[in-house]
Structure 1
């Protein structure tokens, strides 16, 4: 059974993007970038993978599927990325999006929980939820692991890590690492009753 990992960058105050879906406040590369390249290389967009020598040929280590919310996908579209993760199976969770400009990106318009439960039963590598806050809130009960790149910045408002109402859910710490850049990468698993 595959597990879902929500791997995402966040601010100290728990936002994954600015109110207009900008990510420029996050530190890119630096010392924590080497950790991402070594540990989760498939989470880099295909266009970036092709610019790093040898990375495009490297096999996926943890994930063969990516899920993203409509806002996350549309942010990539604004930058010209119609198929941002061509090296993964790509799904956009959205009740309001009918189609995408690229056939390799499939829209999940029905019940995303049923869809994800079916995906988790398939053989293969893991499933990466790359954002956004609404998709994470919808799929929260199916998220098995949470990896957060906590950036040393506070923005006050924006897209929250989980865009939902109050409903406590406990996680257990698996690991944590603080980098010289100030970025902390924390890994959690959902506590099971």
Structure 2
């Protein structure tokens, strides 16, 4: 069965974006440290998680090793749209969960207005590589119990407040994970992989 992996960047205080939810890596309010070693690690280990234009810039044409499907919430998708990308991941099956959008902005993006848990359970039964949950916190909160693996790109910074890893509405539900892999980059960012305990 395919796994649902929440592959996400987080600060030391557990925030995945600033209070307004905008992309922390680009724009006038960017605060995320995107160093050369960070990008190189993504290129080598997680090339499918790079947006299409970045893949072109790095000359990446091969399929990724981890994921063939990406899912995200409406607000996270909007960050890409605001940057001029109606489909940031054309190399993956790309689903956007939204109850407000009625028409896809790109033929390669599937809109899902139904229950996220139900849809993810359906996706897990289909053949293929794992499923990448790329954000945001509200969708991650709704899928909290369905997440099989966490890969946290932990940045060496704090921001005080922002969008938490699992949003603000996730019920209290202690879930235990085992650290299965770790890579600490010279710049201080740590890639930490956790698998859910069965």
Q: Pick the TM interval, shorter chain.
A: over 0.9
> 5+ residue gaps in structure 2?
25-29
SS at match of 2:153: strand
1:185 paired with 2:188, answer no
Deviation at 1:104, TM superposition (A): 1.1
Aligned with 1:39 (options 2, 26, 45): 45
User: In 2, distance between residues paired with 1:12 and 1:102?
Assistant: 35
> 5+ residue gaps in structure 1?
none
Partner of 1:115: 119
SS at match of 1:19: coil
TM-score normalized with structure 1 length:
0.94
Residues 28-70 of structure 1: per-residue CA shift (max 9 Å, x gap) = 14213222111110000001101112x1x21221111000011
TM-score normalized with structure 2 length:
0.92
Runs of 4+ in structure 1 off by over 6 angstroms are: none
User: In 2, distance between residues paired with 1:78 and 1:156?
Assistant: 25
- Tell me, yes or no, if the aligned pair for 2:35 and 2:187 is still in contact at 8 Å: no
Report the number of matched residues. Answer: 190
- Tell me, yes or no, if the aligned pair for 1:145 and 1:190 is still in contact at 8 Å: yes
User: In 2, distance between residues paired with 1:168 and 1:95?
Assistant: 28
Aligned with 1:59 (options 60, 63, 66): 63
User: In 1, distance between residues paired with 2:118 and 2:40?
Assistant: 36
